[in-house]
Structure 1
Amino acid sequence: MNLDEFFRASSTLNPKLTLLISEGQHFLPVNQLLIDKNSLLLGKSSPSQGGFATITLDQFMTRTKRLSLKTDLRTLNDRQLIFGFRIVNKSIVFY
């Protein structure tokens, strides 16, 4: 999935939905965005005392609006291409 596909698929969704990554049987909060060549890597920062907030759809759109629409979405830990998402409760879960 690239940014253009994600923007079009999520354009009518609630901007306050949080972003999660499906990892095995668990959902991990997306709170780290890194650019690597033609890819945007979605990940979770290592925990600290204060913890890290999960990025909302609105925050994601704001932070990525200047990137090329052809930018691939990938997971940070294994750089696997994200193929889609689903809505679970009040979150967008990438898989």
Structure 2
Amino acid sequence: MIERYLRLLENYLGICYERKTYVTAQGKIKVEKNIKTILDLTENVFHFMIYRFFAIYFKCLIKGDYKSANHIQDMLKKYGYEKVVKSWLKINM
């Protein structure tokens, strides 16, 4: 059940980034709360680490740290998670 919840939170982050809802003060608070929730839920469970990476990845995107976001994506690809990160946004700098 937690994994389903994490997927919903992950999809919500993707939509927020796509629609740029994080630009407003209220939107920023919701996105930060969402990221914190994902990080809290995945803190001690290895099985959920990909969701943790996703939250950190989106945190970098929202802050405009595209270099770190691309680095996260590249490292996950390097370690065999190409199929997982295939659907993540690739930022061209």
Give the TM bin, normalised by the shorter chain. Answer: under 0.3
- Considering Cα pairs closer than 8 Å and 6+ residues apart, tell me whether 1 or 2 has the greater RCO: 1
Q: Which has the higher strand share?
A: 1
